[in-house]
Amino acid sequence: MEVRRLSGALGAEIHGVDLGEEQTEETVAQIRRVFLEHLVIFFHGQTLTPAQFMAFALRMGRPVEYPFVKGLEGFPEVIEVKKLEHERHNFGGIWHSDTAYLAEPPMGSMLLAREVPSFGGDTLFANQYLAYESLSDGLRAMLAGLTAINSSSKADVSKTREDRIRTDGKSDSKEYLAEHPVVRTHPETGRKALYVNVAHTARFKGWTDEESAPLLQFLFAHQVKPELTCRFHWRAGSLAFWDNRCAQHNPVNDYHGQRRVMHRITLAGSKPV
């Protein structure tokens, strides 16, 4: 196994591993260590069947169903994330942490590229440990006592789901709301991370929307500064696995008229503290 760091902030590519094969306990542990150190890891050349993709996910965590989109036939935890040639919005095309509106947001997510456009379609990732650590002492002290209200129905993210809900949506979709600390402690590393995001965080608990807006707008801009990010260019067969507890992501919507098809698995997490 060879690990190549992708940027100064986060991200590493792992080479020399075929995820379609049964992995030894030593290899699984090594992948896990790289994942925790670099927050998002990438593999190339992984031509996995849904069963092989699920088998790897099971070595890393417990796959769970996504609330709004139906999974593949026989694999309800594997959803198709796609943008078709005639569509204008890409699924989840805004900076976010996955499903922060759930009481127990996912530990991580895996995305496997099936079809990629001839140009564009990269994904950006941002390190939320560094986002928190680069704040002033005074602001960190204030944020320590705040709780965020997160919603699944904020307008900017809702419109990115419209095409997929129209074709693959679940009939029982509803609004989800959850309260989480603005600063969460990672359950495995013990590091603190900023845990708000522009897609889902609506306001602070005990604050009005108007009172919350200036501070949230500052945090939303701060947490995705270029020096906190990396950018990943997909190939067919590329696989990304990111830590949803300390990293955000944003798929870039710059390939209108082309097709992009990915398979995604979400891994169960715990209540943020």
Gyration radius (Cα) of the chain, Å: 18
The answer to whether residues 128 and 239 touch, using CB atoms and an 8 Å cutoff, is no
Are the CB atoms for 228 and 111 separated by under 8 Å? no
Q: How far is CA 132 from the centre of its chain?
A: 18
Nearest CA-CA partner of 112 in 47, 58, 177: 47
By C-alpha distance, which of 157, 228, 244 is closest to 195?
244
- Rounded CA gap, 97 and 11, in Å? 16
To the query of whether residue 200 is one of the catalytic residues in this protein, the response is no
Q: Of residues 98, 163, 200, 243, which has the active-site annotation?
A: 98
Is residue 86 among the annotated active site residues? no
Q: Are strands 40-43 and 12-15 parallel, antiparallel or unpaired?
A: parallel
Contacts of 190 (CB under 8 A, 6+ apart): none
> Is 264 among the residues known to form the active site?
yes
| Pair 259, 85: CB distance under 8 Å | yes
Is there a catalytic annotation at residue 263? no
Residue among 186, 249, 260, 263 flagged as catalytic = 249
- The catalytic position among 96, 180, 245, 260 is 96
Which residue among the candidates 164, 200, 263, 264 is catalytic per the annotation? 264
Active site positions, annotated = 96, 98, 249, 264
